[in-house]
Structure 1
Amino acid sequence: MASEDITKLAESLAKTKVGDGQLSFKGQSLKLNTAEDAEEVIKQIEEFDGLETLCLEGNTVGVEAAKVIAKALEKKSELKRCHWSDMFTGRLRSEIPPALISLGEALITAGAQLVELDLSDNAFGPDGVRGFEALLKSSACYTLQELKLNNCGMGIGGGKILAAALKECHRKSSAQGKPLALKVFVAGRNRLENDGATALAEAFGIIGTLEEVHMPQNGINHPGITALAQAFAINPLLKVINLNDNTFTEKGAVAMAETLKSLRQVEVINFGDCLVRSKGAVAIADAVKEGLHKLKELNLAFGEIQRDAALTVAEALEDKTQLEKLDLNGNTLGSEGCDQLREILESFNMGAVLGPLSDDEEEDNEGEENEEDGEENEDEEDDDEEEEEEEEQQQQLNERGPGEEELLTRTNIIDSQSSTPVPSPPVDVATFLAFPSPEKLLRLGPRCSVLIAQETDTSDGEKVVTTLLRISSVFKDEAPVKTAVHETTDALMRKAFGSATFNSDAFLTSLLIHMGLLKSEDKIKTVPSLYGILMTLNHMVQQDYFPKSLVPVLSAFVTKPNRAFESCSFARHMLLQTLHQL
């Protein structure tokens, strides 16, 4: 290691926090590749008597460094909490399992009795779960109370491996008279889908001691939701249920409502963005009315709930004296319904608990009359579509970026030879760029890449950035959309970088500003999600038109910790992996 690197490492370690049995290297951006790189970290671990908590998040640990750190941990029998989130940034996915295996074996050797294990924001995929599978099955985890695996890209396969490990841990610990008593389980943004959720539900039903379950944004439909509901009924201590941004539909919502009737300790219900619909909301309202006297938060936002159902929810809250927050935003109440909702809550002296209704949609006058028939038809369509979706999703599992906020939606491509073709409205480049969507891009036809490149003034770097962001915003891992995005991006950027008047440095600067990775004195609105542009950049940087001089700059900004990456760690990992190979 060069002297300047040692100096930099020493300065970082000077910020190390020590106290109350905790040794923290959190957020120091340490790059620990070799045993030599990790010497100072190892020294502090070895010299720390009574080490109970080790924080390594916000750094990057390679296989060799993990082995020597593990060696130092073999004598730390008092270790209870491992805060190891976001500690493999820029690593090849193949590096993560052996690193986790080394660390896990060390904890087993030490005879540690873990209380908390946090491996969130590590894009390790299903193979990564294999890396700590042995640890979960070992005596080191018989005492585990909190398991946090948020945003790890586990997928269906990883969910099944994890569920099997938890069941084995419970079986073996029960044989010793002290069964696993897991309290907190966190696994949001992992694309667990129905099969992964169902497998975990089986484990939850065996464990029976859960107090908090956080599984938002996992692509779970009503079969998986129903399985989870049945498992939650066997966990009477549940206080927090967070299933935000999955797809309940009426069937899942009714199943979950039945479970809520049997639970007495629930304080937080987060079913926002779950499409519970009106019937589901009424069922949940009935469960709330019958019990849940400790309820503090209820989130049913963006659930396609209409006015009467929303008012039923409000009326069910009359005696919920501990309620602090009610979120019904983004539904279909209409202005009159919003006023009625406020009036009901104010009559209970609970007006202050209602969140904003700024995204409420105007109520459809015929909606209440037609809703029942519509929902029955939609549920039938859901059942028909789910099998098709699951087959498609299984094929995509090894290609897509799991653990991301983006929901998979299928693009309806009308076959020109179909016997009953359905006409689609015409789309031009201006329409697509004004309101981009995957469907519009595909409807531009096979010449979409040429058309967009032709209509973009590539002498204006800002316009190129804007167009690129619009194209990348519709990126999906489905083959037709991915191909269209790549081809359109290639045509646009090949034309831009090939122009003698195009300033590539200014282009990259503007792009980084729009991505929120570089500050600007001007007020520029950043893109809401970096997933599409990161995946598009991962393709761009591998093409012959992309200037190699921009690689170090781009790498520096993508490597630097930034909250904008929190919801797209997989895409960031993929881009960093590619950049490091160039």
Structure 2
Amino acid sequence: MADGVDEMPSARPPTLPSQQAFKLWPPSQGTREAVRQKMALKLSSACFESQSFARIELADAQEHARLIEEAAFGAAQEADRVGDKAGSAVVMVYAKHASKLMLETLRTQGRDSGEPVTPTAAREVETDAVATDNGGALSSESEEQAIGDAVKEVRSIDKEVQTLFDVSGGTRAFLTKERAEELLKPLFVENDITQICLSNWSFGHESAEVAARALSALKDRLVDVNLADIVAGRQEAEALSAMSTISSALEGSKLKSLNLSDNALGEKGVRAFSALLGSQNSLEALSFMNNGISVDAARAIREILPSSKELRTLRFHNNMTGDEGALELATEVVGGAPLLEHFQFSSSRVGSEGGVALMEALQAGKSLKIIDIRDNMYGPEGGAALALALRSHTMLKEVYLSDLGLEDEGALAVVKALTEASSQVTILELGGNEITEKVAPALATCIRSMRHLTRLNLMENELKDSGVVTVSTAIGEGLENLRELDLSVNELSRIGALAAAQAVGNKKHFKHLNLNGNQISEQGVEAVQEMLRKSVAGVDVLGPLDENEPEGEEDYEEDGKDDELDVEGFSDLNVADKTD
């Protein structure tokens, strides 16, 4: 419904069978991913700030965190299988196991070992980690201090997991009053819950009343509330009633994080949450993802939200905001959030006018670490405004700017701004922007400035061989931490493909090279494979070539331009085509 709560296109969620049991364990996949991300951030920041440890790059820290979380989850699953622990105790096993492994990872990195802690290693570290946690002997005072700081960090993981109530796992279902009382029973007894996730359950009139009683009793200490996807399949009137009931129960809470995503809100839905939204003066994170936010809904958010001055994270994605909606939110919501670190306004039908307004609003701050405005139509004019905003934010780490229609003019402004201000960037996406070889020299200069880059996405542009050779030269000269390079659909023939392969071949951490959708001859593909086979990276890093058009290379080579390319630094690229 255009102005209200849209019904889900999928089938009506089933009502739960009476025999289904509710448990605090296991956590949902979303919760596990959130824990992994927090661990990765703590691992990378702890090592970076300590002179006793080698630095763990974020990408490496994420791999460590994945293995640590899997090991901790396995230990907790075993405790749950044995059946001698309550759900809350199993959660504590999970948290403590993760903490011990994080500590050991930090100490192992201090010995300059890059190997992630494995489940086997997990069983070997418990005594050592506990001794360290209790102040055991260490190799030096500096390491003791560093370990002490790390212990504080990993203990925070304990606390966060133990205070989280998450029922989002399992099959999506309609929630009856009786099932809601059973599901939310842990909230009605003494607990330390400060974070709640009610996602994936469809609340109606009566089940919302049950939730409201629980939330009302806890609201004074709640800091993180996730209400994403809580009315799926309900009729508009019932959905609005449920949202209003839950909103009223949380009125006056002092939340740090609120997620209202996946509720197909519309203006009526936003206003149904007005009691909750209107009482939040210190939110640090706010999400409206996949809500169908129109200009009217955007206006409602602006009118209801009293302050955005404490916001660090603001996420809009897959909405119908458009230019007018972006204008509604730009000045007061975005511009009123000078502390923003994570800004997402992707896939929301924003054009040049709205893009310029949003980018001007972002200039109110200097703290952005992540910007994600993919899949809008900013065009060159929006690109110029984006460039000005980027110059204000020198701490950027992840930059997602694909599918903005920047063209050469806008892209050139953007890469020059990034060169000046964004040396800490680890992820750069500029795919689908109609960038030609004319921008390649500036792009190469930008890449050289980003020595921590792990992922570079330039897919679906028009760089051609000459542009890719220029960019590949820059990649080959540095970027030791690069793991992914996407040059798919860039009108490449053999020369460009070989330049890319040679550029990444000497990087020991490299994982994936995408050259699909180009016009590389069969002989050229064989030459690329052979080059990678002999390289440090290995041939397995080459992605699928099922959409490559080998016959198309003849068109690129007929005029002889490939032979005239200046491929300085790639003198060995004249690999002769193999013949039968």
Q: Judge conservation of contact 1:147–1:184 (CA < 8 Å) in 2.
A: no
Which of 202, 206, 209 is the matching residue for 2:388? 202
1:149 — aligned with what? 316
Which of 426, 451, 469 is the matching residue for 1:282? 469
* Aligned partner letter, 2:292: A
2:79 — aligned with what? none
1:284–1:368: structure 2 CA closer, same or farther, 3 Å change rule?
same
1:365 — aligned with what? 554
Which of 540, 563, 566 is the matching residue for 1:352? 540
1:184 — aligned with what? 370
Answering whether residue 222 of structure 2 is matched by residue 28 of structure 1, we say: no
Once the two structures are TM-superposed, the CA of residue 118 in structure 1 deviates from its matched residue by 2.6
Once the two structures are TM-superposed, the CA of residue 138 in structure 1 deviates from its matched residue by 3.5
Higher relative contact order (CA 8 A, sep 6+): 1
Q: Judge conservation of contact 1:156–1:193 (CA < 8 Å) in 2.
A: no
* Seq. identity, %: 26
Residue aligned with 1:237, SS:
coil
The whole-number CA distance in structure 2 between the counterparts of 1:172 and 1:101 is 23
Q: How does 1:184-333 map to 2 (within 5 A)?
A: 184-233=370-419, 234-333=421-520
The whole-number CA distance in structure 1 between the counterparts of 2:257 and 2:323 is 27
Answering whether residue 517 of structure 2 is matched by residue 337 of structure 1, we say: no
Deviations 1:513-541 (A, max 9, x none): xxxxxxxxxxxxxxxxxxxxxxxxxxxxx
2:222 — aligned with what? 51
Answering whether residue 210 of structure 2 is matched by residue 40 of structure 1, we say: yes
1:170 — aligned with what? 338
The whole-number CA distance in structure 1 between the counterparts of 2:179 and 2:198 is 12
1:68–1:150: structure 2 CA closer, same or farther, 3 Å change rule?
same
Q: Judge conservation of contact 2:261–2:288 (CA < 8 Å) in 1.
A: yes
Residue aligned with 1:261, SS:
helix
Residue aligned with 1:223, SS:
helix
1:74–1:243: structure 2 CA closer, same or farther, 3 Å change rule?
farther
Deviations 1:203-227 (A, max 9, x none): 3332332221334444443333334
Per mean C-alpha deviation after superposition, the further-off stretch among 332-341 and 96-105 is 96-105
1:191–1:285: structure 2 CA closer, same or farther, 3 Å change rule?
same
Matched pairs, number = 353
The whole-number CA distance in structure 1 between the counterparts of 2:560 and 2:278 is 56
Deviations 1:317-373 (A, max 9, x none): 243221111111111112111111111111113212111112111143241354869
The whole-number CA distance in structure 2 between the counterparts of 1:172 and 1:317 is 34
* Aligned partner letter, 2:253: K
TM-score normalised by length of structure 2: 0.53
* Aligned partner letter, 1:204: L
* Aligned partner letter, 1:42: A
1:449 — aligned with what? none
Residue aligned with 1:148, SS:
strand
Residue aligned with 1:247, SS:
coil
1:45–1:193: structure 2 CA closer, same or farther, 3 Å change rule?
farther
Once the two structures are TM-superposed, the CA of residue 121 in structure 1 deviates from its matched residue by 1.4
Once the two structures are TM-superposed, the CA of residue 293 in structure 1 deviates from its matched residue by 1.7
Q: Judge conservation of contact 1:170–1:207 (CA < 8 Å) in 2.
A: no
2:104 — aligned with what? none
* Aligned partner letter, 1:23: I
Once the two structures are TM-superposed, the CA of residue 123 in structure 1 deviates from its matched residue by 1.9
Q: Judge conservation of contact 2:278–2:306 (CA < 8 Å) in 1.
A: no
Deviations 1:27-53 (A, max 9, x none): 223357xxx774333333223364232
Q: Judge conservation of contact 1:73–1:107 (CA < 8 Å) in 2.
A: no
Q: Judge conservation of contact 1:148–1:187 (CA < 8 Å) in 2.
A: no
Answering whether residue 263 of structure 2 is matched by residue 87 of structure 1, we say: yes
* Aligned partner letter, 2:556: G
The whole-number CA distance in structure 1 between the counterparts of 2:459 and 2:378 is 18
Once the two structures are TM-superposed, the CA of residue 311 in structure 1 deviates from its matched residue by 0.8
1:275–1:149: structure 2 CA closer, same or farther, 3 Å change rule?
farther
The whole-number CA distance in structure 1 between the counterparts of 2:418 and 2:507 is 22
Residue aligned with 1:295, SS:
coil
The whole-number CA distance in structure 2 between the counterparts of 1:14 and 1:232 is 53
Once the two structures are TM-superposed, the CA of residue 238 in structure 1 deviates from its matched residue by 1.5
Deviations 1:89-137 (A, max 9, x none): xx5x4335545765443221xx34x1x3332212214454444457999
1:107 — aligned with what? 280
Once the two structures are TM-superposed, the CA of residue 157 in structure 1 deviates from its matched residue by 4.6
* Aligned partner letter, 1:83: N
The whole-number CA distance in structure 1 between the counterparts of 2:230 and 2:396 is 31
The whole-number CA distance in structure 2 between the counterparts of 1:7 and 1:162 is 34
The whole-number CA distance in structure 1 between the counterparts of 2:301 and 2:560 is 47
* Aligned partner letter, 2:412: T
The whole-number CA distance in structure 2 between the counterparts of 1:296 and 1:245 is 20
Deviations 1:472-528 (A, max 9, x none): xxxxxxxxxxxxxxxxxxxxxxxxxxxxxxxxxxxxxxxxxxxxxxxxxxxxxxxxx
RMSD: 3.8
Residue aligned with 1:348, SS:
coil
* Aligned partner letter, 1:54: V
The whole-number CA distance in structure 1 between the counterparts of 2:472 and 2:490 is 14
1:250–1:75: structure 2 CA closer, same or farther, 3 Å change rule?
same
Q: How does 1:563-574 map to 2 (within 5 A)?
A: none
1:215–1:80: structure 2 CA closer, same or farther, 3 Å change rule?
farther
1:364–1:166: structure 2 CA closer, same or farther, 3 Å change rule?
same
The whole-number CA distance in structure 2 between the counterparts of 1:252 and 1:42 is 56
The whole-number CA distance in structure 1 between the counterparts of 2:304 and 2:409 is 30
The whole-number CA distance in structure 2 between the counterparts of 1:100 and 1:198 is 36
1:284–1:122: structure 2 CA closer, same or farther, 3 Å change rule?
farther
The whole-number CA distance in structure 1 between the counterparts of 2:280 and 2:298 is 16
* Aligned partner letter, 1:76: S
Residue aligned with 2:375, SS:
coil
Q: Judge conservation of contact 1:275–1:304 (CA < 8 Å) in 2.
A: yes
Residue aligned with 1:147, SS:
strand
TM-score normalised by length of structure 1: 0.52
The whole-number CA distance in structure 2 between the counterparts of 1:30 and 1:194 is 45
2:179 — aligned with what? 11
Q: Judge conservation of contact 1:285–1:312 (CA < 8 Å) in 2.
A: yes
Deviations 1:223-253 (A, max 9, x none): 3333432343312222112344343233455
The whole-number CA distance in structure 2 between the counterparts of 1:370 and 1:83 is 56
The whole-number CA distance in structure 2 between the counterparts of 1:238 and 1:249 is 23
* Aligned partner letter, 1:87: N
The whole-number CA distance in structure 2 between the counterparts of 1:129 and 1:203 is 22
The whole-number CA distance in structure 2 between the counterparts of 1:105 and 1:230 is 41
Q: Judge conservation of contact 1:152–1:189 (CA < 8 Å) in 2.
A: no
Q: Judge conservation of contact 1:98–1:131 (CA < 8 Å) in 2.
A: yes
Q: Judge conservation of contact 2:460–2:489 (CA < 8 Å) in 1.
A: yes
Deviations 1:394-422 (A, max 9, x none): xxxxxxxxxxxxxxxxxxxxxxxxxxxxx
